[in-house]
Amino acid sequence: MDSFKLLSLLKTCISSKSLVKGKLIHQKVISLGLQNNVSICKSLISFYFSSHLHDSAYRVFNTIEHPLDISLWNGLMAAYAKSFMYFEALELFQRLWEYPYLKPNSFTYPSVLKACGGLGNVGYGKMIHTHLIKVGSLYDVVVASSLVGMYAKCSMFDQATRMFDEMPERDVACWNTVISCYYQDGRAEKALELLGKMRDAGFEPNSVTLTVAISSCARLMDLERGKEIHGELVKDGIVLDGFFGSALVDMYGKCGCLEMAKEVFEQIPEKGVVTWNSMISGYSSVGDSRSCIELFRRMNAEGIKPSLTTLSSILMACSRSAQLQYGKFIHGYIIRNMIGADIFVNNCLIDLYFKCGNFHSAESIFEMMPKTDVVSWNVMISGFVSVGKYFDALITYEDMIKAGLNPDAVTFSSVLAACSQLAALEKGKEIHNSITQSSLERNEVVMGALLDMYAKCGAVDEAFRIFCNLPERDLVSWTSMITAYGSHGRALEALSLFGEMQKSSSKPDAVTFLAVLSACSHGGLVDEGCYYFNQMTSEHDIKPQLEHYSCLIDLLGRAGRLHEAYEFVQSNPETREDVGLLSTLFSACRLHKCLELGEKIAELLIKKDPDDSPTYIVLSNMYASAKKWDKVRKVKSNVHDFGMKFGVIAEEQFRCHEQAPTKTPSPESYPIVGNLLGFLRNRHRFHDWVADMLSQTPSSTLQVNSFLNLSQGVCTANPVNIQHLLHSNFHNYIKGSRFQENLHELLGTGIFSVDAHLWNLQRKISSHEFSTNSLKQHISDVVTSQLSHNLLPCLSNACNQNQIVDLQDILQRFTFSNICKIAFGVDITTLQNSGFVQAFDDAVEICSSRLLSPIPNVWKIKRLLNVGSEKRLKEAIDVVNDFAMEIIKSKERQRHNSSENRGKSKDLLSRFMSKTWEMEFEDQDQKRKFLRDIIISFVLAGKDSTSTALTWFFWLINGHPRCLRLILDEVSRLESFNYDELRELNYLHAALSESLRLFPPVPINSKLTVDDDVWPDGTQVRKGWFADYSAYGRMEKVWGPDCREFKPERWLDDEGVFKPCDQFRFPVFHCGPRMCLGKEMAYVQMKSVVVALMRGFEILAVDGGASAEKMMNPPYILTLNLKMKGGFLVKLKKRNDLI
Ligand code: HEM
In tens, the pLDDT along 288-308 reads 999 999 999 999 999 999 999
Atom of ligand 1 nearest to the CA of 751: 40
Question: Residue 373, SS3?
Answer: coil
Among 417, 450, 472, the domain boundary falls at 472
Number of domains in the chain: 2
Cβ of 1078 less than 6 Å from ligand 1: yes
Take atom 18 of ligand 1 and give the residue whose Cα is closest: 1076
| pLDDT confidence of residue 830 | 73
Domain region containing 875: 740-1134
Take atom 1 of ligand 1 and give the residue whose Cα is closest: 946
- How confident is the model over 257-271, as pLDDT tens digits? 999 999 999 988 888
Phi, psi of 876 (to 5 degrees): -65, -45
| Cα–Cα distance list, 341 to 347, 363, 365 (Å) | 10, 16, 11
> CB-based burial of residue 140 (10 Å sphere; 0-12 exposed, 13-18 middle, 19+ buried)?
middle
In a domain, 48, yes or no: no
Q: How far is CA 736 from the centre of its chain?
A: 33
Which residues contact residue 517 at a Cβ distance below 8 angstroms, ignoring those fewer than 6 apart? Answer: 529, 532, 533, 548, 551, 552, 555
pTM of the model: 0.51
Phi, psi of 1009 (to 5 degrees): -85, 130
Phi, psi of 674 (to 5 degrees): 60, -130
Take atom 19 of ligand 1 and give the residue whose Cα is closest: 1076
Find out whether 201 and 234 touch, Cβ atoms under 8 Å. no
| Nearest alpha-carbon partner for 746 in 619, 621, 884, 623 | 884
Largest CA distance in the chain: 135
Which residues contact residue 868 at a Cβ distance below 8 angstroms, ignoring those fewer than 6 apart? Answer: 862
In a domain, 21, yes or no: no
Name the stretches of the chain with pLDDT < 50.
642-662, 669-674, 707-708, 1139
CATH no. for residue 928? 1.10.630.10
Cβ of 1077 less than 6 Å from ligand 1: yes
As a whole number of Å, the end-to-end CA separation of the chain is: 92
Phi, psi of 1101 (to 5 degrees): -70, 130
In a domain, 299, yes or no: no
Atom of ligand 1 nearest to the CA of 908: 30
Q: Where are the alpha helices (DSSP H) in 470-542?
A: 475-487, 491-503, 510-523, 526-538
| Cα–Cα distance list, 342 to 275, 339, 405, 677 (Å) | 21, 9, 19, 76
> Ligand 1 centroid vs 1071 CA: distance in angstroms?
10
CA dist., res. 428 & res. 417, Å (int): 9
Question: Residue 1097, SS3?
Answer: strand
| Nearest alpha-carbon partner for 1070 in 1133, 1119, 1007 | 1007
Dihedral sign of CA atoms 543, 547, 548, 550 in order = positive
In a domain, 149, yes or no: no
| Nearest alpha-carbon partner for 1047 in 1111, 1091, 1095 | 1111
Amino acid sitting at position 318: C
Find out whether 221 and 189 touch, Cβ atoms under 8 Å. no
Cβ of 1120 less than 6 Å from ligand 1: no
In a domain, 15, yes or no: no
> Ligand 1 centroid vs 1002 CA: distance in angstroms?
9
| pLDDT confidence of residue 89 | 94
Cβ of 1069 less than 6 Å from ligand 1: yes
DSSP 239: P
> Ligand 1 centroid vs 189 CA: distance in angstroms?
64
CA dist., res. 721 & res. 699, Å (int): 9
Find out whether 251 and 226 touch, Cβ atoms under 8 Å. yes
| Nearest alpha-carbon partner for 935 in 1076, 820, 816 | 820
Cβ of 752 less than 6 Å from ligand 1: yes
CA dist., res. 656 & res. 1037, Å (int): 14
In a domain, 970, yes or no: yes
User: How many CA atoms lie within 13 Å of 339's alpha carbon, on the beta-carbon side?
Assistant: 22
User: How many CA atoms lie within 13 Å of 1027's alpha carbon, on the beta-carbon side?
Assistant: 30
| Cα–Cα distance list, 671 to 663, 705, 709, 1023 (Å) | 17, 10, 9, 22
In a domain, 322, yes or no: no
Question: Residue 572, SS3?
Answer: coil
For a pocket test of ligand 1, which of 945, 1028, 1085 has the largest count of ligand atoms closer than 8 A to its C-beta?
A: 945
- Which residues, listed in sequence order, are joined to residue 1133 by a DSSP beta bridge? 1098
Phi, psi of 715 (to 5 degrees): -135, 140
CA dist., res. 17 & res. 1131, Å (int): 90
- How confident is the model over 365-408, as pLDDT tens digits? 998 888 888 999 999 999 999 888 888 899 899 999 999 999 99
Find out whether 541 and 573 touch, Cβ atoms under 8 Å. no
CA dist., res. 248 & res. 772, Å (int): 48
User: How many CA atoms lie within 13 Å of 926's alpha carbon, on the beta-carbon side?
Assistant: 5
Cβ of 949 less than 6 Å from ligand 1: yes
Cβ of 1051 less than 6 Å from ligand 1: no
Atom of ligand 1 nearest to the CA of 948: 1
Cβ of 1001 less than 6 Å from ligand 1: yes
Cβ of 908 less than 6 Å from ligand 1: no
Q: Report the residue count for the chain.
A: 1139
Amino acid sitting at position 731: H
Among 450, 472, 494, the domain boundary falls at 472
Q: Where are the alpha helices (DSSP H) in 286-424?
A: 289-301, 308-321, 324-336, 343-355, 359-368, 374-386, 390-402, 409-422
| pLDDT confidence of residue 604 | 87
Query: Nearest 5 degrees, angle CA 251-CA 256-CA 260?
Result: 65
In a domain, 615, yes or no: no
Find out whether 666 and 702 touch, Cβ atoms under 8 Å. yes
DSSP string, 714-744: EEE--HHHHHIIIIITGGGEE-HHHHHHHHH
Residue numbering of the annotated binding site for heme: 1076
Q: How far is CA 836 from the centre of its chain?
A: 40
Q: What is the 3-state secondary structure (H, E, C) of 170-206?
A: CCHHHHHHHHHHHHHCCCHHHHHHHHHHHHHCCCCCC
Among 472, 495, 521, the domain boundary falls at 472
CA dist., res. 571 & res. 533, Å (int): 15
For a pocket test of ligand 1, which of 1076, 1077, 1079, 1120 has the largest count of ligand atoms closer than 8 A to its C-beta?
A: 1076
Helix (H) or strand (E) holding 144: helix 141-153
DSSP 472: S
